[in-house]
Structure 1
């Protein structure tokens, strides 16, 4: 990682028009950068928030205008040059230029890579060409999918992560027949405890979703018009499908960085100041891996809070007021009338404490402890607990399991009295 304190350059170029790129540009102006500022965005839409895509936008309760991170007029008002529909093809670190498709090279003094990621596709014949097999990453994906959301249509969701379950919830509310297929023994297995997985399996089953775990897909049945008509399972069973949604993860867009000779390992490697090994190039958002104070090593996070925090860290570095990334990660998911808020990283925990009941009702909190410290929490439909949980995780508080479990005592008392 870079150790040299980089100098501010007049022209800052941001590659990527997602949450991280847009937030970094705004933070630079707020921090006093008055030099030239250019955003190169591959999509043709102004920067928009992606989390509502699989929720409010898919359901039709939000419009494109509702998704904009900032009103389009803001970019001109803040003297931000944004080039939509611009694909960057290479970085020339020696000459300090980025090359773009069918346009002149763009010079930079400082470069911020906010290239995000792309949806992982299903590695089966027909998956990428069938017009009714969808991944979820951009507006165009949802627009194409939403046209096929008709009552009683058979939807097969491949992947029982947050995105897949959010789509399933919207689809059931729209009257579709939904089957969720998850290869792991339980949904959300990679990110949460078995008690939370069981809760979501129960909720979706109560809503009429056919949830199948430990279930592998072996093929797609493609009809004469090139559309998927069914999904074949490893055991030979065939499921009829009018449309298929694939939610099996995200691949970070690291090719530009790697081809430019920057270190890449499941993300662009950066230090705690979002700097790459090139002192003139920073990287932020879903495409990065950064040092993890909580568990050591490096981590890559796919979340809006992480994108915003790294954008602000990069802006501070670029305006010569550097501060290290030290935010506690958090995330949320909306499904039916259930809001999940999670804080911290539960990996490596050695104890799980449940406050409330996940077997009945729809409100409870799960704490993850490591060596007696509160390291993470999953909070379902209890915003007061979430506010306290964020503070407990940030402080790595040592609270007894009995106290965390005891609903007769307000959780906020743990902030005052500790163990």
Structure 2
């Protein structure tokens, strides 16, 4: 990415883990001193720019995207009384914004296990807010344009064009387009019937239809998507094989010993693993539907349904002109989510933002960041605050939560997975891991099956990064005692 005038050029570094994709990269922060607040504040009069040539009635604020970030941004506008008659959302989806994590969890449960369905998980139920159904948007005077993705941006005229040919006007624009799945090329079978990718409700509906008649399922990828989908397939009691090139599942976070414990649980649920395996092509049967996965070593895995979870990429088209960060593959923003173009912001998965506490630029594909970045951006846009975004990386997964499951899984991770790893517990059901740097500072912490109080301690530990006694952590007799020891380190440091 070309540096803006008066700034330093970003330098590449090694990658930090991110679920399913190498989206978090270690690079120096892009200085944002040249992005003054005054350069981004400008008035916008709806009346002055009103024109019959534009299809949207609400033009002061326009959000492009229909996922978590868009829904939470809308809620923030409503909370500050700035939505009614002012806000328009343009989405490629035919439904109102919703909590996407449900798509690879509860949505894929078999019918007898009470699967999640809309409107049950519209935003913002994931954080305890109102259910933002289509009626909610109408009640709050928010214009929503469904199933009509934006295809063109005209920065000079402050306008957008959609696939149906609509011309839309904006005063301030928030890009919340999220990610798209990395797909196999059609030439190796990536578009065959029975091959699925999951990013939206339509994708999940299509997969459920396949699972209803499936017998043998191949899940390609051992990251977030792969593990959550495989757990759901176990609920259907399907012959399921997970195929991935690494030595163990979730390699960007799990150590080999942590992964082994989860893999054993999956095996107990009849899920098989093919590790160190590389895909050659997906083969079709006589009916044109996928029938097998052929590996580079020549072996074949029979499958009438294939789910591909090999990563995601930021959905930046048609917004490249506002300024890209090629290192992390997103739209470059500052600590207020402002792009280099006045009046245009980017939030959620698509934003390459300064990860303040680790002094690098990152792009985070996670619902927690989508929620928090949306709120922070809107409040900055409305001049509610001027403080920069200070995000603490957080990831979690919940699987095997359907009725009849012998063991539910719920883990959380906060912080940075760098340094020595100290593991405590035997997954019975608890398991904890602490990442400690060379200066004995706690950098990241992982916990499986904790209590609400224990999970509540994790972000405090990861943000405060207390000095801990490695020897005592290693000798801790239980997860509870290890967490107590880590927690006491915070108090000791505060009183020192």
TM-score by structure 1 length? 0.94
Alpha-carbon distance in structure 2 between the residues aligned to 1:32 and 1:355: 48
Are the aligned partners of 1:8 and 1:318 in contact in 2 as well (CA < 8 Å)?
no
Equivalent residue, structure 1, for 2:454: 385
| Residue 491 (structure 2) pairs with residue 416 (structure 1) | yes
Within 2, Cα distance between the matches of 1:294 and 1:128? 40
What residue number does 1:54 align with? 104
**Contact conserved, 2:214 with 2:304, CA < 8 A, in 1?**
no
Which residue does the alignment assign to 1:374? 442
Specify which of 34, 41, 45 is matched with residue 7 of structure 1: 41
Q: Distance in 2 between matches of 1:401 and 1:123?
A: 48
Match of 2:93 among 31, 38, 43: 43
**Structure 1 residue aligned with 2:80:** 31
Do structure 1's residue 125 and structure 2's residue 179 form an aligned pair?
Answer: no
How far the C-alpha of 1:33 sits from its partner, in A, is: 2.2
Q: Contact (CA 8 Å) 1:90, 1:99: kept in 2 or not?
A: yes
The reply to whether residue 324 of structure 1 matches residue 388 of structure 2 is: yes
Aligned 1:289-328 pairs, distance under 5 A: 289-321=352-384, 322-328=386-392
Moved more, 71-80 or 187-196: 187-196
Number of residues paired by the alignment? 414
Q: CA RMSD in A?
A: 1.9
2:405 equivalent to 1:343: no
Name the SS for the 1:274 alignment partner: coil
| Residue in structure 1 matched with residue 22 of structure 2 by the alignment | none
**Does the CA contact (< 8 Å) of 2:189 and 2:281 recur in 1?**
no
The aligned residue for residue 140 of structure 1 is 202
1:181 aligns with 2:252: no
Change (3 A) 1:123 1:198: farther
Does the 8 A contact of 1:9 with 1:110 survive in 2?
A: no
Preserved contact between residue 254 and residue 264 of structure 1 (Cα < 8 Å): no
Partner of 1:353: 422
Query: In 2 relative to 1, CA 108–194 (structure 1 residues): closer, same or farther, beyond 3 Å?
Result: same
> Matched residues in 1 for 2:204 and 2:465: separation?
39
Equivalent-residue separation in structure 1 for 2:259 and 2:391 (angstroms): 26
Q: Which residue of 2 aligns with 1:68?
A: 122
Do residues 78 (structure 1) and 132 (structure 2) align? no
1:262 lines up with 2:316 in the alignment = no
Task: Using the TM superposition, name which of 115-124 and 92-101 deviates more.
Answer: 115-124
Distance 2:354 2:343 in 1: 19
Which residue, 286, 308, 311 being the options, matches 1:249? 311
Per-residue deviation at 1:150? 4.0
Residue 126 of structure 1: how far off its partner (Å): 5.1
Corresponding position of 1:93: 155
Encode CA deviations 1:233-286: one digit per residue, 9 max, x unaligned: 11111111110000001111112221x342342011111111111121000001
Unaligned stretches of 5+ residues in structure 1 = none
8 Å CA contact 2:148–2:164 kept in 1: the answer is no
Task: Give the superposition deviation at 1:382.
Answer: 1.0
CA distance in 2, matches of 1:129, 1:373: 48
- TM-superposed deviation, 1:403: 4.0
More strand by proportion, 1 or 2? 1
How far, CA to CA, are the matches of 1:195 and 1:275 in structure 2? 42
Q: Tell me the residue number matched to 2:18.
A: none
Paired with 1:374 and 1:25, the residues of 2 have a C-alpha distance of 36
- 1:199-278 aligned within 5 A: 199-258=261-320, 260-265=321-326, 266-278=329-341
Which is worse superposed, 320-329 or 146-155?
Answer: 146-155
- Asked whether the 8 Å contact 1:341–1:386 carries over to 2, the reply is yes
Distance in 1 between the 2:221 and 2:165 partners? Answer: 39
When structure 1 is superposed on structure 2, of 186-195 and 130-139 the one drifting more is 186-195
Counterpart for residue 65 of structure 2: 16
- Mapped to 2, the partners of 1:217 and 1:388 lie a distance apart of 41
Q: Are 1:125 and 1:220, in contact at CA under 8 Å, matched by a contact in 2?
A: no
Q: Deviations over 1:114-173 (max 9, x none)?
A: 011111112363534312000111111111111222487100000000111111111112
1:363 and 2:363 aligned = no
Moved >3 Å (runs of 4+): 402-405, 412-415
CA distance in 2, matches of 1:183, 1:319: 47
Q: 1:328 to 1:261 in 2, by over 3 A?
A: closer
Partner of 2:464: 395
Q: CA deviation at 1:4?
A: 2.2
